[in-house]
Amino acid sequence: MNHYETVFILTPVLSDAQMKEAVDKFTSLLKENGATIVNEELWGMRKLAYPIQKKSTGFYAFVEFDGEPTIVKKIETAFRRDERVIRFLVFRNDKYAAEYAAKRRSLKANKSQEVTVEAKKED
């Protein structure tokens, strides 16, 4: 199994519920095809570097997954068929990028635990 990351941008005219439903659609497609979701992040609405389809903002979503190489073609086909997706990128991580991604996830988890502990102390 290879380690993959995908980032896709959804059109900004979607509501939060529609955006989450679209992300769930793609993650469930990955799971149905034998991939395991390692990490999922919703980066929210961000300004685009240049207008795409006359839109200057978009919802960014990031998904890390482990799977067979055949799954890449299936997820890219799903991205192309869904009109809510403005842009997407799927790439395979080498062992160094996979180690860096694991380190980044652990640092993020530690940071979120520190925030919750500090919030409990204030209460």
Within 8 A by CB and 6+ apart from 29, the residues are 74, 75, 78
Q: What is the DSSP letter of 13?
A: T
Residues 11/72, Cβ–Cβ less than 8 Å: no
Distance (Å, rounded) from C-alpha 59 to C-alpha 10? 5
Angle between helices 70-81 and 16-32 (to 10 degrees): 150
Classify 2-94 by CATH class. Answer: alpha beta
* pTM, full prediction: 0.82
The pLDDT value recorded for residue 119 is 65
What confidence score (pLDDT) does residue 118 get?
67
Q: What is the reported pLDDT for 94?
A: 86
For the stretch 60-85, pLDDT in tens is 999 999 999 999 999 999 999 999 99
In this prediction, the residues of the chain whose per-residue pLDDT falls under 70 are 114-123
